[in-house]
Amino acid sequence: MPQSPNHPAYWHTLPRRHGDRVRADGGSAANDMLVMGTHVGTHIDALAHVSHNGRLFGGADARAAGEGGFYRDHGVHTIAPMVCRGVLLDVPAALGTEVCEPGYEITVADLETTERLQGTPVERGDAVLIRSGWGRRFDAPDRDTFIGHDSGVPGVGEAGAQWLAGRGVHAAGADSIAFERLAPGAGHSSLPAHRVLLVESGVYIVETLDLEEIAAQKVHEFTFVLSPLPLFGATGSPVRPLAVVAGPAAEDGRG
């Protein structure tokens, strides 16, 4: 699984396997140990994840907010489960291409073209999932392909984030590990969309979404269900969100 080197990697082990200890009645239980950051795999960023000039969303002092070892006010436990309208903005489909180029900044015009062509205007309170096509690289044998440090990664930039915030969306997601556009070779040195959404606007960010299936099925509007683990004071949570449609459910989670 591709992972940001900034976060503790996902490790799963089986401390106990079947056969290790069998009860008198013939039963045995196997169990797990997980070690992981919260920003690995498909996950949601809590508002506490990012600060700017020492301030969190709402103006709280970011350093003081973490004293005690948890973020009481803007931790991921404060995010209510979401059951709301979801909109997929399939940008490359609207632009008549397969996938956006590495490092391409999805513009406000691109977003507006997409919602218009799809007939799915973005509305207040929506969860908006922006497909760049980058998610196709998730299963590349080397993790660098998906992380895209050298190549850059497509996504919205500061302008696109302001457009989303201006529309009053509740959450914004994408099919890349950093949500926003990364310039080739720049890595995470500048993340203006995170600032706009998390710090200035209180909009949650969902990353590493698998949007290929709903895009292929042209599911552009759905009920979005996302239920973060209420990890007290944490800055994010692994999640497996769903796009629920009238017929059978289509999943967009990824792990």
Q: Are 89 and 251 in contact (CB under 8 A)?
A: no
Token output for 253:
């989670």
Q: Is 51 in the site for a copy of itself (CB under 8 A)?
A: yes
With the C-alpha atoms ordered 231, 213, 201, 83, is the resulting torsion angle positive or negative? negative
For a copy of itself, the closer of residues 149 and 230 by Cβ is 230
178 contacts a copy of itself (rule: CB under 8 A): no
User: Which of 160/187 has CB closer to a copy of itself?
Assistant: 187
Among 2, 38, 164, 209, binds a copy of itself (CB under 8 A): 38
Tell me how far CA of residue 93 lies from CA of 40, 48, 117, in angstroms.
Answer: 27, 34, 10
How far apart CA 237 and CA 49 sit, in angstroms, is 11
166 is a contact residue toward a copy of itself (CB under 8 A): no
Length of the chain counted residue by residue = 255
142 binds a copy of itself (CB under 8 A): no
The partner residues of 204 in beta bridges, in order of sequence, read: 171
- Residues 227-246 touching a copy of itself, rule: CB under 8 A, are 227-236, 238-242, 244
Choose between 131 and 254: whose C-beta lies nearer to a copy of itself: 254
Number of alpha carbons in the 13 Å side-chain half-sphere of residue 4: 17
Binding a copy of itself (rule: CB under 8 A), the pick from 2, 12, 85, 100 is 12
| By the rule CB under 8 A, 19 interacts with a copy of itself | yes
Show contacts with a copy of itself in window 60-119 (CB under 8 A): 62-63, 65-71, 77, 80-81, 83
Q: Is 220 in the site for a copy of itself (CB under 8 A)?
A: no
Binds a copy of itself (CB under 8 A): choice among 72, 112, 200, 253? 253
The packing angle between helices 108-118 and 158-166, to 10°, is 50
Q: Which of 190, 200, 212, 221 binds a copy of itself (CB under 8 A)?
A: 190
Determine if 203 is a binding residue for a copy of itself (CB under 8 A).
no
Question: Judged by CB, which is closer to a copy of itself: 100, or 198?
Answer: 198
Q: Which of 143, 236, 242, 132 is nearest to 176 (CA)?
A: 132
Q: Per DSSP, what are the bridge partners of residue 173?
A: 129, 206
